Amino acid sequence: MDKNLIDLILELKRRCMTDEEQIRTICNISLAEYKGITEIGLEERISCHALSKKMGLSPSRGSRIIDSLVKKGYLSRRENPEDRRSFILSLSSKGVKIKKQIEQERSNFEYRIRKNLSLREIELIKEGLELITKIFNQK
């Protein structure tokens, strides 16, 4: 029996969440820490508000996660020279190390997908996923 499109999407989501959970287990970090670390580029400098927005969180919830990431040594927080009421965040050396580990694990998972596909199949899948993402992002 053919599955509905939404069933396939939800199955893919569950599989991705399982793989993401494995990465977090390997790296020994929580979901909130994973989101915070993956949303900052290796050389990026970002405000607390902007990071909260990238994580899809309210500023107050984002602030609690950011405080935890700073406390655990994954983020560095410095006073913003242009606005002393706000802070600029960046990955600490510990944060850079864990982000690189996350990226390596994600590459390993992607390799598992790609190794059994032709270049054309990869392009078709990417096009389909981009189309679905575009549709979901329409308001």
Mean pLDDT of 14-19: 94
- In tens, the pLDDT along 72-85 reads 999 999 988 887 77
Distances (CA, A) of 125 to 38, 121, 122, 133, 139: 23, 6, 5, 12, 24
The string of pLDDT tens digits covering residues 35-75 is 999 999 888 899 888 899 999 888 889 889 999 999 999 99
The mean pLDDT value of the chain amounts to 91
Q: What is the pTM of this model?
A: 0.84
The two tokens of residue 25 are 């287990």
Pick the CATH number of 5-137 from 3.40.50.2000, 3.40.50.10260, 1.10.10.10, 3.40.50.10490: 1.10.10.10
Token pair in block for residue 136: 């979901």
> Residue ranges of the domains in the chain?
5-137
Percent helix, percent strand, percent coil in the chain, to nearest 5: 65, 10, 20
